[in-house]
C-alpha cells in the first residue's frame, strides 16, 4: 500500500498518466500479473478513513507501546534507569517514525510532520516517559490524540504538495 496521502488533484493526474501510458494501463488492468504493493499509481483520492490510516504511524506506535510495556515490566531496573530507557525509546521511535515514512517513499513533508505529531500524541497517552513529569496525566495525552485526530481529518489533502517529484 502506498502511504502517500493522495488528493483529488493528484488522483486525477495519476489517472491521466495511466490513460496516456498504455504499458502501465495494460499492467494494471491485467489480473494475472502481480505488482508490488504501492507500485501502481493510485487513481482514487483518499477519504477520511484512508487518510487517518496513512498518517497515523500504527506499526511504529505499536512497537513503541510494546517496548514501553517491556521496560515498565522490568523489575530488576532502577527507577532512574527505567526513566532514561523510556525517554530513549520515545526519541528512538520518534526518529523511527520519520525514517519509516521516508523509506516508504512519502513525498509530502507535511504528511511526515503530521505523522510525527500523531506519534507524539500517542506516546503522551501511553504510560511512558511523560508520566514521570510532575502533574502529568495520561488524560492529557488522550486529549492530544483526539485533537491531533481532528486536525488530521480537517487538513485538506490538496494542501499536501509533494516536496519533490519521483
Distance of alpha carbon 97 from alpha carbon 80, whole angstroms: 26
User: What per-residue confidence (pLDDT) applies to 93?
Assistant: 96
Query: Residue 26: inside a domain, yes or no?
Result: no
Task: Domain of residue 98: give its range.
Answer: 47-159
Query: Residue 165: inside a domain, yes or no?
Result: no
Per-residue pLDDT of the chain (166 residues; tens, 9 = 90+): 677 777 677 777 767 776 777 666 555 655 556 555 555 666 666 677 777 777 888 889 999 999 999 998 887 878 888 999 999 999 999 999 999 999 988 888 888 998 999 999 999 998 889 988 899 888 999 999 999 989 888 876 556 565 555 4
Q: Which residues contact 96 (CB under 8 A, 6 or more apart)?
A: 60, 63
Contact between residue 119 and residue 61 where contact means Cβ atoms under 8 Å apart: yes
Distance of alpha carbon 56 from alpha carbon 54, whole angstroms: 6
Distance of alpha carbon 129 from alpha carbon 15, whole angstroms: 46
pTM, to two decimals: 0.76
Query: Residue 29: inside a domain, yes or no?
Result: no
Query: Residue 145: inside a domain, yes or no?
Result: yes
Query: Residue 77: inside a domain, yes or no?
Result: yes
Amino acid at each position: 500500500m502506498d502511504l502517500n496521502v493522495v488528493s483529488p488533484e493528484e488522483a486525477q493526474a495519476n489517472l491521466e498518466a495511466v490513460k496516456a501510458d498504455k504499458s502501465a494501463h495494460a499492467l494494471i488492468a491485467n489480473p494475472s500479473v502481480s505488482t508490488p504493493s504501492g507500485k501502481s499509481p493510485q487513481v482514487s483520492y483518499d477519504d477520511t478513513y484512508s487518510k487517518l490510516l496513512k498518517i497515523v504511524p500504527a506499526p511504529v506506535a505499536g512497537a513503541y507501546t510494546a517496548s514501553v510495556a517491556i521496560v515498565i515490566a522490568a523489575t530488576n531496573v532502577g527507577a532512574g534507569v527505567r526513566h532514561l530507557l523510556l525517554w530513549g525509546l520515545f526519541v528512538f521511535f520518534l526518529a523511527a517514525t520519520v525514517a519509516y515514512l521516508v523509506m516508504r517513499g512519502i513525498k509530502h513533508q507535511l504528511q511526515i510532520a503530521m505523522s510525527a505529531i500523531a506519534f507524539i500524541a500517542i506516546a503522551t497517552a501511553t504510560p511512558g516517559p511523560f508520566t514521570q513529569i510532575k502533574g502529568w496525566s495520561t488524560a492529557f495525552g488522550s486529549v492530544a490524540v483526539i485533537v491531533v485526530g481532528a486536525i488530521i481529518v480537517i487538513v485538506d489533502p490538496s494542501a499536501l504538495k509533494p516536496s519533490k517529484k519521483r
